[in-house]
């Protein structure tokens, strides 16, 4: 550890005279959050301060994008959040389309919505397993992954990939879906609906789970908004912040869905929000499948996409974790002058220190799990 | 309110704090603040009831070596009024420094640390300005356009 | 000539010594005891190997997986393969350890729990030694594990192992109180501490003790799970995120002995629960006509209890340390004491027939 970091940790909180020691929750984690390092200052069992050390997964994606053409950048966006790759693809595509005034055809928009919602379900299922595993219940992880396999099968059917799709492109999607996709998707939704009830039975009202997550890590709405919290985590505090409702993109204003809000702001509320969102996603996909009509899936665009000189665009969208923003600055060439990814996990992680002071060590895992963090988003 | 209304309102109330205001061809309202009026402008935008920008969505910087400036770009959103704004500040490239927005929006804390880390812009008044992605003893600013990586030299212990 | 007579004299001396100091009247008695001990040891080891396989299969099927199925038919030889692997592993020892306690701790952990099997009745009168203080003996013996854990944590010369050892010891000590308190009503009713007699009492009573003493049974299972450091009380085991627990610095055979000790603790607790509450080797109600030896009934009930304890691990999340201690002291102990008072009152009013 460098002197700067060490002095900040040692000097920040006044010593209470009891034996305080600094512990490293190292970059290698048994939990599936990724390569995140937390330096925790403890007084016995109680946490005095948590300092996240970032940068272990920094791949300079933003710098790389400055040297790639706009379509080439889409491959990199998959890696920004590989658990929820479709939504990042979409965010970049929307920003580039706004920059260059391209309009994707309707079929492409509906397909984009279907895949983003399927991706949201897949991401929430992985979160469900990881959160339960952090708390100590090891079985729900396998149940979540079992369902996720079916969604990944649908993705593989369409674009050949299970994790990093490169499917949603500027101007539309890569390729049209196979003829039996709609029927297979409906079959999956019918299979999946009762499974959500199974998961709720297992975890939601389990007394041990309630004790571990109720009242732990409470985020008040004011603190949440001020600290840049977003997504299902902020909806757990009762703030209506869904970008799909606030600034509707694609055709979200043409379909009916509820924004899931819970009032308490603790880990349990955030858990409940995501479980309810699973059901909402199923309903959204059903509506989109009905409105799907034949047509082209890619807009007519010039062969080389050039942004107008001295142009810029900032588009916010709702990824599985929260608000995903992409800021593009164009300079008249086929490559972006600047690309910035505003990721939900980066802003959410800031609150970890505030929420865990005075709590026990095991609560770090509970709070971190309820934030649904993905470290590649934090570091980019 | 819509972006046109927003632009007219801002122009009417805050003309002297701005060095320029424009509606971009993509339909976004872009303000460039005068350096000494930046902080008070941001405060006004947050606290005034008509604007009510309570959410700092993103804070980043763009490097323009040809014009010898680095532009600090903030994107603001209002949950109450549902409108969006882009706030810019130009700082000279040789001694880049800007006032911190941390006291208005806590989310600026880590965003500004990232800008400091990757561009070298010093934020005055920031509570904890140190690098966030790169190691603490790293000497260069990676996202600047003139960054050249001489390769990674491993120092022997 | 001299040599031969010397040998006979020496043999006679040894026998005389054995007679005086160990009470062995005949060679055959000594051989009896040796054979029984070896049989117990061998049988238990085989049974524990089977249990490890069972745990992996049970957990797999509860999680929609298959579990071991490659090594041997149905994966039955998997534990043998794991045991061989652990034996040929390199024995990594910390340099600054406390040598003798480091060596002794796993042995004590294993031996202490194993000694609890001495008083378990597998069939009517089929006990290694039917002590008339059987239950007291078991409770006393299982307290040895605390010593083993503290010794392991201390001698590892590792701050986190020590802390993990402290936590585990605190957990075991706090859950021993409800464990004993839940057995007291049964002891009050039967008036004896010998496990075989308790089972016989249930035979004359006509019903198993689980029926009148259901609360005591539940408290006993909970405390037994906590005693064995199993989920949902597995803070020492699963704290590998931060603190490895008392067994961090152990590898190879020593590590295996700790876990063997844990499984045997499960077997002993389940066996006690079966004998005291579930009627031991008595047949299931309405099935007493079946020509099945008592031993088979006992094993069936034992496997049922062990399955239950395994199912706990894969269903519930983990309790936090302070919640765990709260639960033991503030919930289980008052309920157990209440149970004793009520049983005592009923016994007073209705005599021994209750």
- Scanning the structure block, which residue is given the tokens 């988003």? A377
Across the range B3-18, mean pLDDT stands at: 81
Q: Under an 8 Å CB criterion, which residues of C touch A?
A: 62-65, 159, 231-232, 234, 238, 240-242, 314-323
Interface test with A, best of B52, B60, B129, B149 (most A CBs within 10 A): B60
Q: Is residue A2 part of a domain?
A: no
- Scanning the structure block, which residue is given the tokens 């503290």? C150
Interface test with A, best of B25, B55, B155 (most A CBs within 10 A): B55
- Scanning the structure block, which residue is given the tokens 């079946």? C290
- Residue of chain A whose Cα is closest to the Cα of B133: A55
Structure tokens, C170: 């605190």
Chain A nearest-CA distance from B54, in A, is 7
Distance CA(C240)–CA(C237), nearest Å, equals 7
Task: Give CA angle at A83 (A78, A88), nearest 5°.
Answer: 40
Distance CA(C200)–CA(C197), nearest Å, equals 5
DSSP state of C331: I
Residues of chain B with C-beta less than 8 angstroms from the C-beta of A247: 82, 84
> Per residue of chain C (354 residues), what is the pLDDT tens digit?
678 888 888 888 887 777 777 666 667 777 888 888 888 888 888 999 899 999 999 989 988 888 888 888 888 888 889 889 988 988 888 888 888 999 999 999 888 888 888 888 888 877 877 888 889 999 888 888 888 988 988 888 877 778 778 888 888 899 999 999 999 999 998 888 999 999 999 888 888 888 888 999 999 999 999 888 886 787 766 654 555 677 778 888 888 888 888 899 999 999 999 999 998 888 888 777 788 888 888 999 999 999 999 998 888 888 888 888 899 999 999 999 999 999 999 888 887 544
Chain B nearest-CA distance from A196, in A, is 31
- State yes or no: chains C and B have 3 or more CB pairs below 8 A: no
Q: Is residue A317 part of a domain?
A: yes
Contact B24 A316 (CB under 8 A): no
- Scanning the structure block, which residue is given the tokens 């050249």? B148
Residue (of A32, A265, A272) closest to A148 by Cα position? A32
**Per-residue pLDDT at C162:** 80
Each residue of C270-317: pLDDT tens digit? 999 999 999 888 888 877 778 888 888 899 999 999 999 999 888 888
Residues of chain A with C-beta less than 8 angstroms from the C-beta of B142: 60, 63
Encode B104-119: b = buried (16+ Cβ within 10 Å), e = exposed: bbbbbbbbbbbbbbbb
Task: Give CA angle at B69 (B67, B71), nearest 5°.
Answer: 120
Write out the H or E segment, with its range, that includes residue A147.
helix A139-159
Number of structural domains found in chain A:
1
For residue B113, name the pLDDT band (cuts at 50, 70, 90).
very high
Residues of chain A with C-beta less than 8 angstroms from the C-beta of B30: 312
Contact C63 A138 (CB under 8 A): yes
- Which subunits sit against C, judged by 3+ Cβ pairs under 8 A? A
Chain C nearest-CA distance from A209, in A, is 6
Q: Is residue A231 part of a domain?
A: yes
Q: Choose from B18-22, B49-53, C47-51 the range with maximum mean pLDDT.
A: C47-51
Out of A23, A142, A203, whose CB is closest to C64? A142
Q: Torsions phi, psi of C181, nearest 5? A: -60, -30
Interface test with A, best of C55, C222, C317 (most A CBs within 10 A): C317
Contact C317 A30 (CB under 8 A): no
- What is the CATH number for A229? 1.10.645.10
Please tell me if residue B62 touches chain A, with a CB cutoff of 8 Å.
yes
- Which subunits sit against B, judged by 3+ Cβ pairs under 8 A? A
| Structural domain containing residue A366 | 61-379
Residue (of A325, A344, A88, A62) closest to B76 by Cα position? A325
> Per residue of chain A (380 residues), what is the pLDDT tens digit?
566 666 666 655 455 556 677 887 778 766 547 788 888 888 877 888 888 988 888 999 999 999 999 999 999 999 999 999 999 999 999 999 999 999 999 999 999 999 999 999 999 999 999 898 888 788 888 899 999 999 999 999 999 999 999 999 999 999 999 999 999 999 999 999 999 998 988 888 888 899 888 988 899 999 999 998 999 999 999 999 999 999 899 899 999 999 999 998 899 999 999 999 999 999 999 999 999 989 998 988 888 988 898 899 999 999 999 999 999 999 889 999 999 999 999 999 999 988 988 888 888 888 988 998 888 999 88
* pTM for the full predicted model: 0.86
Contact A212 C320 (CB under 8 A): yes
**Per-residue pLDDT at A268:** 93
Residue (of A26, A46, A83) closest to A357 by Cα position? A46
Residues of chain A with C-beta less than 8 angstroms from the C-beta of C242: 23, 25, 361
Contact B136 A4 (CB under 8 A): yes
Cα separation values, A151 from A28, A174, A181, A214, Å: 28, 18, 12, 31
- State yes or no: chains C and A have 3 or more CB pairs below 8 A: yes
Residues of chain B with C-beta less than 8 angstroms from the C-beta of A239: 79
Domain boundaries along the sequence of chain C: 89-353
Three-state DSSP class for C144? helix
**Per-residue pLDDT at A94:** 94
Q: What is the DSSP string of C195-259?
A: HHHHHHHHHHHSS-TTTTTHHHHHHHHHHHHHHTT-TTS-HHHHGGGT---TTTT--THHHHHHH
Contact B75 A240 (CB under 8 A): no
Chain B nearest-CA distance from A246, in A, is 7
Alpha helices in chain B (DSSP H): 3-14, 38-47, 108-119
- Residue of chain A whose Cα is closest to the Cα of C239: A362
Domain boundaries along the sequence of chain B: 3-93
Q: Under an 8 Å CB criterion, which residues of A touch B?
A: 2, 4-5, 8, 54-55, 58, 60, 62-63, 98-99, 101, 223, 225-228, 239-241, 246-247, 308, 311-314, 316, 323, 325, 327, 329, 337-338, 340, 342, 346-347, 350, 379
Contact B86 A325 (CB under 8 A): no
DSSP state of A298: B
CB C154 within 8 A of CB C98: yes
**Per-residue pLDDT at A362:** 82
Q: What angle, 0 to 180 degrees and rounded to 10, lies between the N-to-C axes of helices C294-315 and C27-62?
A: 40
Distance CA(A263)–CA(A239), nearest Å, equals 8
Chain C nearest-CA distance from A140, in A, is 8
Interface test with C, best of A31, A208, A358 (most C CBs within 10 A): A208
Structure tokens, B52: 């009510």
Distance CA(C116)–CA(C93), nearest Å, equals 30
- Domain spanning B3-93: which superfamily? NADH:ubiquinone oxidoreductase Nqo5 subunit (3.30.460.80)
Cβ contacts of A309-313, under 8 Å, gap ≥ 24: A311/A99, A311/B24, A311/B25, A311/B26, A312/A99, A312/B24, A312/B26, A312/B28, A312/B30, A312/B86, A313/A95, A313/A96, A313/A98, A313/A99, A313/B24, A313/B26, A313/B28
- Residue of chain C whose Cα is closest to the Cα of A27: C241
DSSP state of A66: T
Contact B130 A4 (CB under 8 A): yes
Contact A227 B30 (CB under 8 A): no
CB C113 within 8 A of CB C265: yes
CA dihedral for B8, B12, B18, B20, sign (positive or negative) = positive
Interface test with A, best of B23, B42, B107, B146 (most A CBs within 10 A): B107
**Per-residue pLDDT at A32:** 47
Q: What angle, 0 to 180 degrees and rounded to 10, lies between the N-to-C axes of helices C333-350 and C214-227?
A: 150
Cα separation values, A249 from A240, A246, A293, Å: 17, 9, 19
Contact C315 A139 (CB under 8 A): yes
DSSP state of A258: P
Out of A139, A202, A365, whose CB is closest to C241? A365
**Per-residue pLDDT at C166:** 83
Q: Which residues contact A329 (CB under 8 A, 6 or more apart)?
A: A311, A312, A336, A337, A338, A339, B62
CA dihedral for A125, A126, A128, A132, sign (positive or negative) = positive
């Amino acid at each position: 550890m460098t002197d700067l970091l060490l002095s900040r940790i040692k000097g920040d909180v006044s010593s209470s005279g009891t034996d305080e020691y600094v512990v490293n929750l190292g970059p290698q984690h048994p939990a599936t959050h990724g390569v995140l390092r937390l330096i925790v200052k403890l007084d016995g069992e109680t946490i005095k301060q948590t300092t996240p050390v970032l940068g272990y997964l920094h791949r300079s994606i933003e710098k790389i994008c400055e040297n790639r053409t706009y379509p080439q950048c889409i491959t990199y966006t998959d890696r920004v959040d590989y658990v929820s790759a479709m939504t990042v693809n979409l965010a970049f595509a929307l920003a580039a389309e706004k920059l260059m005034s391209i309009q994707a055809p309707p079929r492409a928009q509906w397909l984009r919505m279907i895949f983003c919602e399927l991706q949201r379900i897949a991401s929430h299922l992985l979160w469900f397993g990881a959160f339960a595993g952090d708390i100590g219940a090891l079985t729900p992880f396998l149940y979540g992954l079992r369902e996720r396999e079916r969604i990944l099968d649908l993705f593989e059917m369409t674009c050949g990939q299970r994790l990093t799709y490169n499917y949603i492109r500027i101007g539309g999607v890569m390729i049209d879906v196979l003829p039996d996709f709609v029927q297979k998707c409906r079959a999956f939704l019918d299979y999946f609906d009762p499974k959500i009830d199974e998961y709720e039975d297992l975890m939601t009202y389990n007394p041990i789970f309630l004790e571990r997550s109720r009242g732990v890590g409470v985020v008040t709405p004011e603190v949440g908004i001020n600290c840049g919290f977003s997504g299902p985590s902020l909806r757990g505090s009762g703030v209506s912040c869904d970008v799909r409702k606030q600034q509707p993109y694609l055709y979200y204003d043409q379909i009916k869905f509820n924004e899931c809000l819970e009032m308490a702001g603790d880990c349990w509320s955030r858990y409940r929000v995501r479980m309810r969102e699973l059901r909402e996603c199923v309903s959204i996909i059903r509506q989109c499948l009905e409105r799907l009509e034949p047509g082209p899936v890619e807009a007519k665009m010039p062969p080389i996409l050039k942004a107008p000189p001295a142009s810029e665009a900032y588009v916010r969208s709702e990824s599985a974790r929260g608000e995903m923003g992409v800021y593009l600055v164009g300079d008249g060439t086929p490559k972006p002058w600047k690309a910035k990814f505003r990721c939900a996990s980066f802003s959410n992680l800031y609150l970890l220190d505030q929420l865990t002071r005075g709590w026990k060590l095991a609560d770090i895992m509970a709070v971190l799990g309820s934030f649904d963090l993905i470290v590649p988003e934090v570091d980019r | 309110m819509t972006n046109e209304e927003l632009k007219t309102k801002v122009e009417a109330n805050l003309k002297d704090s701005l060095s320029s205001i424009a509606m971009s061809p993509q339909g976004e309202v872009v303000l460039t603040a005068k350096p000494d009026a930046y902080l008070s402008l941001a405060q006004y935008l947050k606290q005034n009831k008509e604007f009510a920008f309570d959410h700092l969505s993103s804070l980043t910087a763009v490097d323009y070596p040809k014009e010898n400036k680095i532009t600090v770009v903030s994107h603001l959103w209002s949950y109450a009024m549902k409108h969006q704004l882009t706030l810019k500040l130009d700082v000279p490239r040789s001694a880049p420094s800007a006032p911190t927005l941390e006291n208005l929006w806590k989310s600026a804390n880590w965003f500004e640390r990232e800008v400091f880390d990757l561009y070298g812009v010093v934020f005055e008044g920031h509570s904890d300005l140190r690098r966030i992605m790169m190691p603490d003893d790293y000497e260069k600013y990676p996202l600047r356009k003139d960054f050249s990586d001489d390769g990674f030299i491993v120092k022997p212990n | 000539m001299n040599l031969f007579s010397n040998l006979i004299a020496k043999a006679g001396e040894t026998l005389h010594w054995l007679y005086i100091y160990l009470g062995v009247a005949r060679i055959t008695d000594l051989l009896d005891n040796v054979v029984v001990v070896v049989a117990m040891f061998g049988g238990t080891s085989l049974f524990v190997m089977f249990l490890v396989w069972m745990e992996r299969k049970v957990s797999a099927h509860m999680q929609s997986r298959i579990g071991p199925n490659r090594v041997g038919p149905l994966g039955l030889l998997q534990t043998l393969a794991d045991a061989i692997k652990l034996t040929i592993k390199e024995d990594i020892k910390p340099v600054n350890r406390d040598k003798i306690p480091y060596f002794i701790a796993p042995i004590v952990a294993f031996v202490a729990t194993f000694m609890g099997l001495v008083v378990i009745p597998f069939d009517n009168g089929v006990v290694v030694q039917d002590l008339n203080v059987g239950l007291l003996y078991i409770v006393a013996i299982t307290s040895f594990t605390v010593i083993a854990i503290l010794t392991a944590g201390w001698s590892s010369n590792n701050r986190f192992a020590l802390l993990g050892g402290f936590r585990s010891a605190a957990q075991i000590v706090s859950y021993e109180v409800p464990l004993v308190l839940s057995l007291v009503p049964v002891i009050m009713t039967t008036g004896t501490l010998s496990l075989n007699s308790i089972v016989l009492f249930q035979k004359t009573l006509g019903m198993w003790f689980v029926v009148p003493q259901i609360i005591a049974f539940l408290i006993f299972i909970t405390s037994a799970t906590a005693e064995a450091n199993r989920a949902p009380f597995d803070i020492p085991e699963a704290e590998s995120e931060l603190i490895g627990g008392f067994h961090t610095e152990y590898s190879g055979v020593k590590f295996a002995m700790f876990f063997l000790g844990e499984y045997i603790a499960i077997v002993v607790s389940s066996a006690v629960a079966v004998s005291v509450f579930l009627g031991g080797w008595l047949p299931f109600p309405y099935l007493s006509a079946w020509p099945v030896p008592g031993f088979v009934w006992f094993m069936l009930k034992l496997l049922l209890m062990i399955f239950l304890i395994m199912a706990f691990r894969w269903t519930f999340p983990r309790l936090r340390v302070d919640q765990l201690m709260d639960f033991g002291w503030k919930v289980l102990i008052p309920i157990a004491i209440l149970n004793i008072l009520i049983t005592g009152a009923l016994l007073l009013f209705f005599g021994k027939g209750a």
